[in-house]
Amino acid sequence: MAIVTRWDNKKKTIILLEFESEWTWDELEAAVQKADNLIGSVEHFVDLIIDLEGASIPRDILTGAKNLLASGEARPNEGARVVVGANGALRTIYQTLQKTLNNDVEGREVLFAPNLSDARAIIRGLALDR
């Protein structure tokens, strides 16, 4: 599988989605479903780290992301989403989607981190404010 979805810690408070170099929208959909199942298996807040380092981004990213964001609402215990390894182009695409799909991304904003260590630190900081 080109996207590995798993708990990132023993407390089951962070899910890590690790993208390999090549992936498809079907694989992303399966990974999101697995993450949703993991989030639903606990009652506390669960944050997500989406590790894109070294992953290629499909040409149809705008259409695919739009369809993904419009496909449902976040769970009540779904926490922050922190993306690792997003280049400038991907950040610009996200900003465009955020403006275009304002209602669909509300409550599902994305933060960006340069590496996994910083992503975990961001999540630790956010958890203190809950």
In a structure prediction context, what are the per-residue pLDDT tens digits for the chain, which is 130 residues long? 589 999 999 999 999 999 988 888 889 889 989 999 999 999 999 999 999 998 887 778 777 777 766 666 778 899 989 999 888 877 887 777 777 766 656 666 788 999 999 999 999 998 888 7
Instruction: State how many domains the chain has.
Output: 1
The reported pLDDT for the residue numbered 93 is 76
Alpha carbons 60 and 58: distance in angstroms, whole number: 5
Paired tokens of 34: 């697995």
The reported pLDDT for the residue numbered 105 is 61
The reported pLDDT for the residue numbered 26 is 86
66 closest CA partner among 103, 117, 119: 103
pTM: 0.86
- Specify the amino acid at residue 27: E
Coil/strand/helix, residue 78? strand
Element holding 113 (H helix, E strand): strand 110-113
Distance of CA 6 to the CA centre of its chain: 12
Owning domain of residue 57:
3-128
pLDDT above 70 covers what percent of the chain?
88
Q: Indicate which CATH number applies to the domain containing 60.
A: 3.30.750.24
The reported pLDDT for the residue numbered 104 is 59
